[in-house]
Structures are given as C-alpha cells and as structure tokens.
Amino acid sequence: MGGLLVLVLAAGLTLWLRDTSPPPPHASTPPSGEELPLIDLARLQADRPAPRVRRRDLFEFGAPPTPPPTPRPVAPPTPETLGPSSPTAPPSPRLPPLSLRYIGSLENARGLRVAVLLTDRNEVLTGQAGEVLANRYRIARIGFESVDLEEVGTGQVRRLPLRGN
C-alpha cells in the first residue's frame, strides 16, 4: 500500500511540474501567416506525352571536331635578343662534394645485394641497386670490387672502388 502511495505521488508531481508551453513547431508546419501550397494530385491521373525514342546508328559518324590551333614554338631568348640591360638568371648552386667510401657489400640467400658506404662524417649508408642515398646519389650497380653511383641531379655516373680502413 505504501508503494502505491509513493507511485501516485510521483505521478502527480510529474504532471504538476510538467512544462505547459506549446510544443515546438515541426518542419512541416508553415511559418506564421503563410499557407502550405497544395499538391495537385490530379496530375498523377493525367495522360503523359509519349517519350520520344531516337534511332541511333552506331556506325554513322559526324564530322570530327576541329582541333585547337597549334601554338608556334617560341625560341628561347639569347644574349643578343635580351640586350645588355636585361637580368640574367643566377647560376645554379653546386652541391658540396659528398665524399663517400665504398667499404663492402652484403648478399643474402636470395641474391639481393646491399652496398655499404661510409661518409666523411662516419655515417653508414646502405642501399640496394636503384635506391637513392643521401638524397643525391642513386646506386646504379653493385659489383664485387666497386659500386657505380649516379648523381640524381646531373645523371653523371661515378664509380667508387672498394676500400679497406
């Protein structure tokens, strides 16, 4: 009996504290003063025009589009055409020489060979053929007594012989 009394009191308190303000407007209700437009459902019953079907021949071609005009090649300016007052481009800076020593190579059971090089700062660089070392040299070929390094910027190949200590 006591539980029923608590339940009735809780329900009465809930109804008394409940907000009596009007519910928020829904998306379907129009803003104040405007009417909703009516949907003409009679259009669904009306006759529709028949779709126009085209016949298309896959082997009938039209005239090809005209290509855009070809731009004429412009010759690069020469010192004679530029004149003495025009600025010249600054020479590209040369990278400092990176002195490398080839100290050997390793080969695993599958035949993959890795070259081991040492920089002038005693940093050890390793790589397989085709990899880039120090962002400057690509390993072109790894031999038994030398390694061929291709400079990335110029494409020049430099051969480093095997050196001990």
* Chain segment 105-114, per-residue pLDDT in tens: 988 888 889 9
Asked whether 100 and 118 are in contact (CB, 8 A), the reply is yes
Q: Does the structure show a pLDDT above 70 at 124?
A: yes
Domain count, the chain: 1
Rounded to the nearest integer, the mean pLDDT of the chain is: 78
Residue 102 has, within 13 A of its CA and on its CB side, a CA count of 21
Q: Is residue 22 part of a domain?
A: no
Q: Is residue 68 part of a domain?
A: no
Residue 6 has, within 13 A of its CA and on its CB side, a CA count of 3
Residue 141's domain comprises 100-161
Range picked from 11-15, 42-46, 132-136, 160-164 for highest mean pLDDT: 132-136
Asked whether 146 and 102 are in contact (CB, 8 A), the reply is yes
Q: Is residue 134 part of a domain?
A: yes
Strands, E assignment, the chain: 100-107, 113-119, 124-127, 132-133, 137-142, 146-151, 157-161
Q: Does the structure show a pLDDT above 80 at 24?
A: no
Give the other-Cβ count within 10 Å of 29's Cβ: 10
Q: Is residue 19 part of a domain?
A: no
pLDDT tens-digit profile of 25-78?
A: 555 555 666 777 778 888 888 888 777 776 666 676 777 778 888 888 777 777
Q: Is residue 70 part of a domain?
A: no
Q: Is the CA virtual torsion 110, 155, 97, 134 positive or negative? A: negative
For residue 26, the model assigns a pLDDT of: 57
The residue type found at 163 is R
Q: Is residue 62 part of a domain?
A: no
pTM of the model: 0.41
User: Average of pLDDT values for 129-146?
Assistant: 91
For residue 97, the model assigns a pLDDT of: 65
Q: Is residue 15 part of a domain?
A: no
Q: Is residue 6 part of a domain?
A: no
